[in-house]
Amino acid sequence: MSVNVQGLRKSYGALDVLKDINLDVREGEFTVLLGPSGCGKSTLLSAIAGLDPINAGRIDIAGIDVTDRDPAARGIAMVFQSYALYPTMTVRGNMTFGLRVKRLPKPEIEKRLTWAADMLQITDLLDRKPGQLSGGQRQRVAIGRALVQQARVFLFDEPLSNLDAKLRAEMRVEIKRLHRELAPTVVYVTHDQIEAMTLASRIAVMRGGRIEQYATPDELYERPATLFVAGFVGAPAMNFLPVILRGGVAELGALRIPLDAYRFTSPPADGTPAVLGVRPEHVTIGGPGVAVATETLFMEPMGADTLGWFQLGAQRLSARLAPQLARGIDGAQTVALDIANASIFDQATELRL
């Protein structure tokens, strides 16, 4: 079932939280809403769920206008950040509450409960109360409570942010497995880009109540549409160099960087102030691209890679280097900027050029 949001606006008093949101989630797609806190991603999810009234716009689920429907009548299931388990009910009671409200026949409830508990390996927890469960177990129960609904659209509101790093990685795999097996449509809110990159079929990056870019993880990483997306996605962060574009050359102080390898989407006017963005893995020693003279600053070993820092004029450049290579580096060093894989943004509009 698809989820389609058109022209959605939401404000609290004078504060516009969502400004003209358009989002199209295709059937079976795993869409992640990614952004810093306060960007409106959770508000958007609430609006899709029908938990918060909206000011303007329209929401379709499975091609049906559900804008004015109650949450329960939208064919959705939801998992919350704080798990939101009913404290006085057992796990069994929690998972079957929604089914009992809907007055499903007992055998059907039992069948779905067994199936979901089995799927999440929580069968032996069914008679416990939420207070007797660990964080990971609570999250499983919360997911189970959504599973038994057998909804075709699942909404997740930062479901893993209360878990420690190890459990989070484990649950991420679990959610990915469930999505593969059941293939529901998912809208998933997070501020964690690793979660977004690993889970999503498409990511909508949000800032200030707007969607900056809605694309596959690869597209988002390789061809960010705005300066914000480029800076927000990727760790270590992309290098940003302030340049002036003139005649197919980027001027960085006295340095001239030819941009022949770059494919402009819209050719800029001469003298346009711009930002040249190069990911640390596209700053290499002896690799393809434009060679520039730098001074070595220091090395940060990170295990699989070493992050090398170099001074280029007034700017600092980070490079993702192989640890063996990084060990010998010191003093003056020529590094290559892979312009073919770089991104250039208009300084004023922050849009990709």
Partner 1 sequence: MSVGRIGLYIFLAGAALFFAIPLLIVVMTSLKPMDEIRAGSIFAWPMAPGFAAWVKAWSSACTGLACNGIQVGFWNSFQILIPSVVLSVSAGAINGYALAQWKPPGANMLLTALMLGAFIPYQVILYPMVKIMSNVGLYNSLPGIVAIHIIFGLPVMTLIFRNFYAGLPDELLKAARVDGAGFWRIFWEIMLPISVNILVVAVILQVTGIWNDYLLGLIFAGREYAPMTVQLNLIVNSQMGEQEHNVNMAATLLTALPPLLVYVASGRYFVRGITAGAVKG
Region from 81-89, 216-224, 249-257, 275-283 binding partner 1, contact rule CB under 8 A: 81-89
Question: Which residue type, as a one-letter code, is found at position 306?
Answer: T
CA dihedral 83, 86, 90, 91 (to 10 degrees): -30
49 lies in the binding site for partner 1 (CB under 8 A): yes
Interface with partner 1 includes 101 (CB under 8 A)?
Answer: yes
Residue 86 binds partner 1, judged by CB under 8 A: yes
Binding mask 259-278 for partner 1 (x = CB under 8 A): --------------------
Does position 15 interact with partner 1 (CB under 8 A)? The reply is no
Structure-token pair, residue 279:
């990911």
Binding of residue 14 to partner 1 (CB under 8 A): no
CA count, 13 A, side-chain hemisphere, 304: 1
197 binds partner 1 (CB under 8 A): no
CB-based burial label for 88 (10 Å; 0-12, 13-18, 19+): exposed
76 binds partner 1 (CB under 8 A): yes
Under rule CB under 8 A, residue 176 binds partner 1: no
- Using the contact rule CB under 8 A, the part of the chain among 65-73, 196-204, 226-234, 293-301 near partner 1 is 65-73
CB of 40: closest distance to partner 1 in angstroms?
Answer: 17
Sheet holding 202-207, edge to edge: 76-79, 153-157, 185-190, 30-34, 202-207, 210-215
Q: How far is the CB of 109 from partner 1 (least distance, A)?
A: 13
Q: How far is the CB of 18 from partner 1 (least distance, A)?
A: 18
By beta-carbon proximity to partner 1, the closer residue of 76 and 229 is: 76
How many residues in the shown chain lie near partner 1 by CB under 8 A?
25
Please tell me whether residue 88 binds partner 1 under the rule CB under 8 A: yes
Per CB under 8 A, the list member of 3, 5, 54, 78 interacting with partner 1 is 78
Q: Where are the alpha helices (DSSP H) in the chain?
A: 41-49, 91-101, 106-120, 135-147, 165-182, 193-199, 217-222, 227-232, 323-327
- Give the Å distances, CA to CA, from 74 to 51, 66, 181, 330: 11, 6, 23, 61
| Tokens (6 digits) for 298 | 């220091």
**Residue 124, token pair as written in the block:** 């032996």
Under the criterion CB under 8 A, does residue 71 sit at the interface with partner 1? yes
Rounded to the nearest 5°, which phi and psi values hold at 273? -70, 135
- Regarding 70 and contact with partner 1 (CB under 8 A), the answer is yes
Q: Is residue 344 within 8 Å of residue 245, measured between CB atoms? A: yes
H-type alpha helices, 22-121: 41-49, 91-101, 106-120
Instruction: Please choose, out of 75-83, 231-239, 284-292, 295-303, the segment that lies near partner 1 by the rule CB under 8 A.
Output: 75-83
The residues of the shown chain that bind partner 1, judged by CB under 8 A, are 46, 49, 51, 70-72, 76-78, 80-89, 97-98, 101-102, 145, 157
